[in-house]
Amino acid sequence: MKRKLRMGMVGGGIGAFIGAVHRIAAAMDGEIELVCGAFSSDPAKSKESGIMLGLPPERVYPSWWDMIEQEKQLPENVRMDFISIVTPNHVHFAPAKAALENGFHVVLDKPMTFTLAEAKELKQVVEQSGKLFCLTHTYTGYPMLKEARQVVKEGRLGKIRKVYVEYPQGWLSTLAEKTDNKQASWRTDPSRSGIAGAMGDIGTHAFNMAEYVTGAKVTELCADLNIVVEGRQLDDDGMVMLRFDNGASGMLFATQVAAGEENNVKIRVYGEKGGLEWRQEDANSLILKWPDQPAQILRTGAGYLSSYAAHNTRTPPGHPEGYLEAFANLYRNFAQSVVAMEKGATPSKESLDFPGAEDGVRGMAFVENVVRSGKSAEKWVAFEV
């Protein structure tokens, strides 16, 4: 009889936003169950969170280290199979490394780590452990972004020339970190978020989308970073010019001070034969543009889409599949790959299509190169990994 994969969680306790999103996404397809957790650095809050989630008291731990140490002592048919880490950035590396070294697979919220050096080390640990690692760059879980990747890969747009990717938000248009806004307080704090603000938080998503859809790698960049809201410690706005290894050029902008904007992440790619456009506000549609015929609108759930789009679609055409479903696709593909691997089988190519350690390293390299360029008078810098 098929069983569910058993998940342990680090972070995501009472009052946390992203922890609940991860739990919903993990549970959506009935392939994963939450069995234990260390939900807060405060043991009392962790216990309270575990009770709220209906977990047995003995499977709610005061720290992530206690969870890893005690879970590995449990019988194989009881202990967790993998750990999901949903903490602020500065608490990504240590629990992920410890989990991998103690025989557990890992799902980690982005960005991968606090620094590029940590990301490189963690990638080595992943490779040495033989365990699976998933980084939750949510937007690549959308069926129509997967279709966009296939359109480019099949050469339907011809040689790619231009890439434009953007992520405008407006929730930090004021000094929200000086209020009781928990999300604002840690995401704008260099000691917990790292050396970048908007570029580390949402710029990494845009960067990941650009490389995922085009299949090309950034080789050089030129960044202009700004702190718009007076009193803020990290960038809340920025633009980055990009050069890719296939000869294409592009532009990325990420801002959290575009008052009135929500999460309208968008990508446009242009080749010698045509272009494509996708935006989250109409996530079920992928627009293909041609110089000699009307634009085409491809829709989620349609029979003409690739196996990658079909594999990540749950409902018939016309039923919106959004952020939670895209998030769930990452968990489902990860779970299917873990199950196949544990059985000694090869996961399907569609199941293996989720962000991993290499994406994490390049994301942290993006952050550090952008900050380096932003501080440079010469501006254009080689993309160093």
Domain count, the chain: 2
User: Cα–Cα distance between 118 and 198 in angstroms, integer?
Assistant: 20
- One domain for residues 128 and 197: no
What are the pLDDT digits (tens) for 209-220? 999 999 999 999
Q: Is the peptide bond before 111 cis (omega within 30 degrees of 0)?
A: yes
- One domain for residues 152 and 273: yes
What are the pLDDT digits (tens) for 286-341? 999 999 999 999 999 999 999 999 999 999 999 999 999 999 999 999 999 999 99
What would the DSSP string read from start to end of 144-173? HHHHHHHHHHTTTT-SEEEEEEEEE--TTS
Q: b/e map of 135-160 (b: 16 or more CB within 10 Å)?
A: bbbbbbbbbbbbbbbebbeeeebeeb
| pLDDT tier for residue 190 given thresholds of 50, 70 and 90 | very high
Is residue 43 a part of any domain in this protein?
Answer: yes
Q: What is the mean pLDDT of residues 166-193?
A: 95
User: Cα–Cα distance between 207 and 187 in angstroms, integer?
Assistant: 18
Q: What is the pLDDT of residue 180?
A: 87
Q: Which residues contact 269 (CB under 8 A, 6 or more apart)?
A: 148, 152, 157, 160, 162, 163, 164, 213, 214, 275, 276
- One domain for residues 152 and 124: no
Contact (Cβ atoms closer than 8 angstroms) between residue 358 and residue 212 = no
Is residue 321 a part of any domain in this protein?
Answer: no
Residue 1, pLDDT above cutoff 80: no
- One domain for residues 270 and 346: no
- One domain for residues 96 and 118: yes
- One domain for residues 255 and 273: yes
Is residue 322 a part of any domain in this protein?
Answer: no
- One domain for residues 244 and 170: yes
- One domain for residues 351 and 366: no
- One domain for residues 286 and 151: yes
Q: b/e map of 348-361 (b: 16 or more CB within 10 Å)?
A: eebbebbbbbebbb
- Maximum Cα–Cα distance across the chain: 66
User: Cα–Cα distance between 63 and 46 in angstroms, integer?
Assistant: 8
Q: What is the mean pLDDT of residues 57-83?
A: 97
- One domain for residues 32 and 130: yes
Residue 151, pLDDT above cutoff 60: yes
- One domain for residues 269 and 303: yes
Is residue 323 a part of any domain in this protein?
Answer: no
- One domain for residues 18 and 129: yes
**Tokens coding 299:** 């829709």
Is residue 107 a part of any domain in this protein?
Answer: yes
Q: What is the pLDDT of residue 109?
A: 96
* 179 DSSP assignment: T
Contact (Cβ atoms closer than 8 angstroms) between residue 384 and residue 369 = yes
Mean of the per-residue pLDDT values of the chain: 96
Is residue 44 a part of any domain in this protein?
Answer: yes
Parent domain of 72: 5-139+329-356
- Sheet of 105-109: strand order equals 32-38, 5-10, 82-85, 105-109, 133-136
Is residue 350 a part of any domain in this protein?
Answer: yes
Supply the CATH number for residue 35's domain.
3.40.50.720
Is residue 23 a part of any domain in this protein?
Answer: yes
Q: What is the mean pLDDT of residues 136-160?
A: 98
How far apart are the two ends of the chain, measured CA to CA in Å? Answer: 45
Supply the CATH number for residue 248's domain.
3.30.360.10
